[in-house]
Structure 1
Amino acid sequence: MPINTILCDIDGSLMRPSSGLYVDEEIAQKIIALEEKGMLVILNSARALSGVLPLSRQLKMDHFGGYVISCNGANIKDAKTNHTLFEYAIKQEDALDIWHTILNHQLIPGILQPDHMLALKMTEGYELDAKNCHIAYNLTKQPEESLKQAVWKCTASGTKADIDRVIFSLKEDLEKRFPVKVVRSTDTFVDIIDINVDKFRSSNQLLRQLYKSWDEVSAIGDGLADLECMKAASYAVAPANAQLAVLKVADQILPSCDENGCLVWLDELLRK
């Protein structure tokens, strides 16, 4: 079955991690050329929605159609109609308990709602998130006063050394007490999402809703969160900077994201 859909991780795959809202223009033009030929584009990211929608517009997905999966699968939106197809939220009372649990592990807690992030204070990880996801941060010691919307994810941030020291105990503590899963997204940033959420489940649900199979999909990814999508896709590619487990399942290893290695993949798709 011919490939007619590309599933794209963003940070570490289409661009260098934490390098802003937009991909290099050469990459954008290649993806637009694929869309002009009928390719469906799905962006599949750990970023907050506000960090993915600007990229979808750069890629003209609001014109051609396409889908945005954000927060590691917590929200799925139609890029053309701006309609939310489905979302998975954490209960507000659980989010508050998770906040205090993160504090007990000496990390800085955060709670993501649709239009802003609550955080105790800014960290390097949160500074990068604010920049890359173009999201407003509300700093507070009393999150319950601002918790008025759906909770798409909770977060924990700190230095790499801080997170290295507590990540396993934090993960065990949270996953034992709450219906969540803990995903380390970067060296300085941890995502806590609903237990039913991950990139593969949300991608699979979207494809089923679109009456598509994985045989029609080519996927690019670099992290463990991308692994199951890579295994399921008809053709999977990974940049050289990807984690070892991802490199092992890739059908093709590209130059690193620092070298815009995804261009090799996009050129192959255009030729085919």
Structure 2
Amino acid sequence: MSPATGKVMLGAYLSLSGRSASESLALRRSQLGRDQRIVHQFWAWDEAMPRTRFNVPSSSTLMISWHGVAWNKINGGGSDKLIAAAARNLAAQSKPLLVRWAWEMNGDWFEWGGAGNGKNADGYVSAWRRIHGIFADEGATNVSWVWSPNWNSSPGDSWNKMQNYYPGDDYVDWVGVSGYDFYKESPATLFNPIVNAYGARKPIIVTETAAIDFGGSTKADWTDDLAAYARRTPELSAMVWFDTDTHNDTNFRIDSTTASLAAYRRMAGNAHFQG
């Protein structure tokens, strides 16, 4: 799957309280006058991958964030059958899709993070390459691979630098990044390290982001700043908003205030975001 030249694909993970997935998509369609360009879904490691596209408009691309697992469960071959079955199911969709496996591996909050797997990123690289190879063997050529660290590493030790986890250009189609302005970071602070390191050779996708409401117009202002940043950053080819009010008591919804919805609508309506 290739990005549109000079455009940004704008999509979302949607989980809105009191609404089903289809109802949430319909609400955003009515508010924005368009479908999501990317529909982001999460799937557990041992959950059967979908053979059909659930709640994904025909004009949208599906991005699956596939949970990781301890690396030794992959590198020893014990998960080969599970991986092959996942590959066959996704291949059956016969439409291009994005797979983001074991994201934010440079953080210490998931079981697949380096901190809990021997503090040696080589094991992550080996696991990624093994999964990639099995998908190739099963003919899942419709899958594009998204490698997606967190914008900063935790812990910040040298062994945990995000670059250590990079599987190599032959195994990655898109480079992603997660970044939220939890401490009022600018979009440039969050995303420039990834853009500068990989933007010359891979399309960049912001796989998770949302603005934090610090009161007043802060959420709308940051959304406007993000749109301006994207317009002046040609390496950035896609952005996926974490559009939910059901996660950790933080309201990431684009419509949490009238001003924030207006800012997001300005971004979605701009020609640069029609990729």
Shorter-chain TM-score tier: 0.3 to 0.5
Comparing both structures, which one devotes a greater share of its residues to strand? Answer: 1
Provide TM-score, normalisation by structure 2: 0.34
Of Structure 1 and Structure 2, the greater helix share is in 1
